[in-house]
Amino acid sequence: MATQALAGPVAVAPEPPDHDQPAEQPDLPNRGSHRVIWAIETDEPLAALTFDDGPDPEFTPRVLEILARYEVPATFFMMGWNASTHPELARQVVAAGHEIGNHTHSHENLAFATNEETFEQLHRGHDTIEAVTGVRPRWFRPPRGQLSGFGIRHATMLGVDTVLWSVTRGIPGAGTPREVRDHLVQHVGPGDIVDLHDGLGRGTFNPGRDFTEDLRVRRDVELDALPGAIEQLLERGLRFGTVSDIVAAERPGAGVA
């Protein structure tokens, strides 16, 4: 995907995250258990909507309005940098009754990160989100779904499980709201975890670039598709809950899939 600046004036990028002062690493042993969750085996007609990369003033209020309209709870995987930059918006997510998770501090690709860089991304994101919202994130989701052994280690140290997904928007490129809606209606069923977005990921730090504008169009299409998808899935008898809700509805004796 092209990353050259668009013609004309280019927006000034936000101040990049400060990597010169990494969070202090505690001398803790590896401990506890850790799960990586894609979906849940359940007999309940229950699925989970999740949103990555926020909170973002362009997208998060739209998501909150849609969820409130249909009285649907969701799980928001926040970037620590965005939570600290838009604290009132992060607190609005919590006040609306939604669940929050950690999506790292600044959306770096953990597949190629060192142990120290991974520590910084997970712990700083986790601590920042908790400080801003007053809620300790229960879950972790790695950017792009790419996870290393270092990521699993630090998630375990934080006492959180990793949540991936079983259904996405499914349409390459931007697509149309109808295409995304139809894909979601066709593929979302009981136990599914749906991965959508209310922010721009690394595009947050690269305004005006081609790849950021491409992401913005994709996010707009996702959110335009969301009301119709929710309506049709509710009409089919499916209900929505947070990730914690569907984990609690796991079939007895079933493994996490």
pLDDT over 50 at 6, yes or no: no
Average pLDDT for 6-19: 41
Contacts (Cβ under 8 Å, ≥6 apart) of 19: 120
Average pLDDT of every residue of the chain? 89
Query: Picking from 5-14, 104-113, 169-178, which range would have the lowest pLDDT averaged per residue?
Result: 5-14
Q: Can you identify the CATH homologous superfamily of domain 36-248?
A: Glycoside hydrolase/deacetylase (3.20.20.370)
> Catalytic: 197?
yes
In the block, tokens 């010169």 appear at 20
d(CA 73, CA 243): 10
Catalytic residue, chosen from 126, 197, 198, 245, is 197
Average pLDDT for 118-130: 98
What are the residue boundaries of the structural domains of the chain, listed by start?
36-248
Catalytic residue, chosen from 52, 56, 161, 192, is 52
Cβ–Cβ < 8 Å for 159, 17: no
Per-residue DSSP letter, 97: T
- 25 pLDDT band, cuts 50/70/90, is very low
In terms of pLDDT, which residue wins out, 98 or 18? 98
Average pLDDT for 2-26: 41
Query: Picking from 26-40, 61-75, 206-220, which range would have the lowest pLDDT averaged per residue?
Result: 26-40
Segment 125-179, tens digit of pLDDT: 999 999 999 999 999 999 999 989 999 999 999 999 999 999 999 998 999 999 9
pLDDT of residue 4: 30
Q: Please spell the DSSP secondary structure of 207-234, one letter per residue.
A: TTBHHHHHHHHHHHHHHHHHHHHHHHHH
Question: Taking the model in full, what pTM does it have?
Answer: 0.88
In terms of pLDDT, which residue wins out, 5 or 187? 187
Segment 47-58, tens digit of pLDDT: 999 999 999 999
Contacts (Cβ under 8 Å, ≥6 apart) of 208: 5, 6, 9, 10, 11
pLDDT over 60 at 9, yes or no: no
Cβ–Cβ < 8 Å for 94, 136: no
> Catalytic: 34?
no
pLDDT of residue 147: 87
Q: Is the peptide bond before 61 cis (omega within 30 degrees of 0)?
A: no
* 107 CB burial (10 A radius; 0-12, 13-18, 19+): buried
- 198 pLDDT band, cuts 50/70/90, is very high
pLDDT over 70 at 94, yes or no: yes
In terms of pLDDT, which residue wins out, 220 or 15? 220
d(CA 11, CA 6): 10
Share above pLDDT 90 across residues of the chain, in percent, rounded to a whole number: 83
